[in-house]
Chain A
């Protein structure tokens, strides 16, 4: 059947499986002939491009059990198909928060580890994988290996951020964190351009959460003007689980609705919204962390042909000129997005293919159209020139050369795959494209 991920590009023919037990997964992996398989684990399909697409996918939706929870330490063990939404529903009302949440709560724990996802607190908390203390990995041989940051360290570091290419994550243990309240007190700061918002990020480096929305279509001296949102947990001891969204986009929107004019108008209006830098606005956790989860199927807004998200990171010392050039190039091409997000990253980690680097990350959404791909190639050159790289969980089109030049530990992953036989079994459309 036809299968796609969140960006709805590309679309491929795929045979999905939904095994209910680890033994059923192992049985699916056995008795394959010699040819390399095109097969990959798939959680909730919230990566944007082709990293969870293959001729066969093993969906982890039925592996969604909680396995143990220690009320005193917050240590939780759960199967890989459990969604972050489920964890928040169960544990947030009891005062426990996930240490890291990405922009949507509809991702699986296995997917969050495989993409080594980050959140609005990366600068102080690192990635999701940095809070995983143990994981069980089903390898190509059929053997299940328990890895921790110390035990089978290479396999652990290859698997966190490893895009499912080392095996199938069956379950994981992570530490939840006590929070003083689930709501977030948000402070909003306006900035006139990119220099100013970067200076604000640096000034507020101690804030627990920080993220900026950027007007990607502003030009000249207003280039990169932004609204920076800082957040701290409320101290009121009140806890509210995420609420189900009320809105849904039932059908594909006509793609022409998103054009340079509608986007300019939206961005200009959004930038002008009233903000009081002194005020602290109280937002429930769901509206602060997952504003778009309130609109089911928002990806349909980009029309039938889907969209691509372009997320790059530029190291600290080159961040300002690098981000500026990316914005100039996309602005000059007349391409913009509703949601342009800028965020300061803390240091990178030991995981081989983890995306974050100390510096700044910029995420842009682009409607998929033929004229887009040359622009993205141009952006790749700018990112590489500034020592940056692209997020694999959002990628659908970067070249093997771009990937290899920006992820120096790719050869170690390739070697581990050859040695463990993973290269014969676990291959996504993305890994084939990138030569992994």
Chain B
């Protein structure tokens, strides 16, 4: 993997992915909202061994900017071997349940922006007949739960979209990986109490990059979530709706 594009680069998982790639001397292009943090990451990744690091600011909810900023990334990198999409936001479910505007904002961040970016990246890669796209979704997308079904629905939409995209791009030599982390200890989840099922962003990054390397399709991160989610999906609705989840 030489040329790597990371979207949502200031997220904890993205940072861990970028660092692991820097240690393998990759060339990186980073996109995220806060350019001061991106400048800091550039410095950090260069010390860690990255061959080159460039970045541009991007608010993913400004869909109309996607095309121009991806072109900028392409101009800088020449070509993209791996695109990693990591951006996301953990919504306040109670607010979303009450106000559609709040839910819409979350769908824009967690689902529609990703689909816009995937459209552009998919078209570019299929034309070049090579490349890999890895998207960080969530185990929350596997089944809707009262405590965070807006987040779950958004992530689930992306997972479904990826299934279709994978089939389409397969015929063009492009691989698509859906990475579904469980609980991850990041600034986004700082207010939640941690237990045995929590993982570090570094662990998730490792699962993601292994998934890319082994050309896996759906990567539960860490792997034991595949089993947990199989059980969660198997519970009949009549029982599931009564559970305090």
Contact = CB atoms under 8 A, between A and B. Distances in A.
Interface of A: 1-2, 15-18, 20-21, 59, 61-62, 64-69, 89-90, 250-251, 297
Contacts of A17: 190
B43 A67 contact: yes
20 contacts: A1-B191, A1-B193, A16-B190, A18-B186, A18-B187, A20-B34, A20-B37, A20-B187, A21-B37, A61-B185, A62-B187, A65-B41, A65-B43, A65-B44, A66-B44, A66-B48, A67-B43, A67-B44, A90-B47, A251-B196
A295 B230 CA distance: 28
Interface of B: 10, 12, 15, 23, 34, 36-37, 40-41, 43-44, 47-49, 185-187, 190-193, 196
A294 B229 CA distance: 28
Contact of A62 (B12, B44, B48): B12
Contacts of B196: 250-251, 297
A283 to B, nearest CB: 24
B170 to A, nearest CB: 33
Contacts of A68: 43, 47
A250 B12 CA distance: 24
A90 B193 contact: no
Nearest to A297: B196
Contacts of B187: 18, 20, 61-62
A2 B193 CA distance: 7
Nearest to B20: A89
Contacts of B186: 18
Contact of B190 (A2, A18, A67, A297): A18
Contacts of A18: 186-187, 190
Nearest to B189: A18
A297 B199 CA distance: 12
Given A18-B190, A90-B49, 11 more contacts: A2-B193, A18-B186, A18-B187, A20-B34, A20-B187, A62-B12, A64-B15, A65-B44, A66-B47, A90-B47, A251-B196
Nearest to A82: B44
Contacts of B47: 66, 68-69, 90
A62 B15 CA distance: 10
B227 to A, nearest CB: 14
Nearest to B193: A1
Contacts of B34: 20
A1 B44 CA distance: 32
Contacts of A15: 191
A250 B196 CA distance: 6
Contacts of A90: 23, 47-49
Nearest to A86: B19
B153 to A, nearest CB: 26
Contacts of A66: 43-44, 47-48
A65 B15 CA distance: 10
A89 B20 CA distance: 10
Contacts of A2: 193
A251 B197 CA distance: 10
B116 to A, nearest CB: 25
A297 B47 CA distance: 31
Interface core residue of B12, B187, B193 (most chain A CB under 10 Å): B187
